[in-house]
Structure 1
C-alpha cells in the first residue's frame, strides 16, 4: 500500500505518516523507485496510534509500549492493562488538581497577599 492509499484509508496526512515512520512507529519498505510500500497491517496500526492519542497517550508512550502490545499474540489484555494504567494516571492528576483548586479557593477566600499585596497596587 502506498502512502497516498494509507493516508486515504486512515484519514492521516502523508506528512504525519512520514513522521510516524521517522519515529519508528510504523515501517515501510522502499520500492525500486523509492516509493514507500506499507504492509496492509499498518492501516490497523495507524488507527491504533490515533485512538491512543485521542485517549491521552503521547506518541512516546505509544512507541514505548508498541512492541509489547502489537507483538502480542492476543493484544486485548495488554491494551486493557495500558488503559487501566492511563486511567490511574489521570485519576492521580485529577486528585492533584483538586488539591491545587482547594488551595487557590482558600487563598481567594482569605484575600491572599498574591491578590492584594504591594505588587497588585497600581496608582
Structure 2
C-alpha cells in the first residue's frame, strides 16, 4: 500500500509516517517509481508504534522493542527487562513530580495567606 492509504487506514499523518520511517520504526520498499510501498502488516506496526509511544517509550527504545511485538500488540518476554527499566523510570518520575507538586502547593498556600493578610490590613486601615 502507498503512504496515503496507510495514513488513511491508521489515522496517522503522512509526515509522521515518514518520521517513523526515518527513525527506523517503519519499513517501506521503493519500487522503480520511487514511491513508498508498505506491506500489509504496516497498519499493525503503526498501531504498535503509537501504543508504545503512548506508554512513554522513546523512538530509540521502540526501535529495540518493536521486533518483539506481535501483530496483536503483545510483547514477547525478550523485552521484559527493557520495559521493566522504563517502568521503574516512570515510577521515579512520578515520585519526583509528587514532590514538586507538594513544594509548589506549599508556595501557593503561603502566597494565599500573605494575600489574605495584605487584604485584611487594607480593610483595617480603611
**TM-score (norm. length: structure 2):** 0.67
- Please name the residue that 1:98 is paired with: 98
Higher-Rg structure is: 2
1:62 aligns with 2:77: no
Q: Is the 8 A contact 2:2 2:35 kept in 1?
A: yes
CA distance in 1, matches of 2:102, 2:51: 33
Question: How many matched pairs?
Answer: 108
- Please name the residue that 2:3 is paired with: 3
Per-residue deviation at 1:12? 0.7
Tell me, what secondary structure is at the counterpart of 1:28? Answer: coil
**TM-score (norm. length: structure 1):** 0.68
Q: Deviations over 1:69-88 (max 9, x none)?
A: 248xx834346655544332
Per-residue deviation at 1:103? 4.7
Tell me, what secondary structure is at the counterpart of 1:37? Answer: coil
Q: What is the CA RMSD across the aligned residues, in angstroms?
A: 2.8
CA distance in 2, matches of 1:103, 1:75: 38
CA distance in 1, matches of 2:46, 2:81: 20
Per-residue deviation at 1:44? 0.7
Distance 1:11-1:79 versus aligned 2 partners, 3 A rule: farther
- Please name the residue that 1:49 is paired with: 49
Tell me, what secondary structure is at the counterpart of 2:57? Answer: coil
| Residue ranges of structure 2 left out of the alignment (5+ in a row) | 112-126
- Please name the residue that 1:89 is paired with: 89
Distance 1:109-1:29 versus aligned 2 partners, 3 A rule: closer
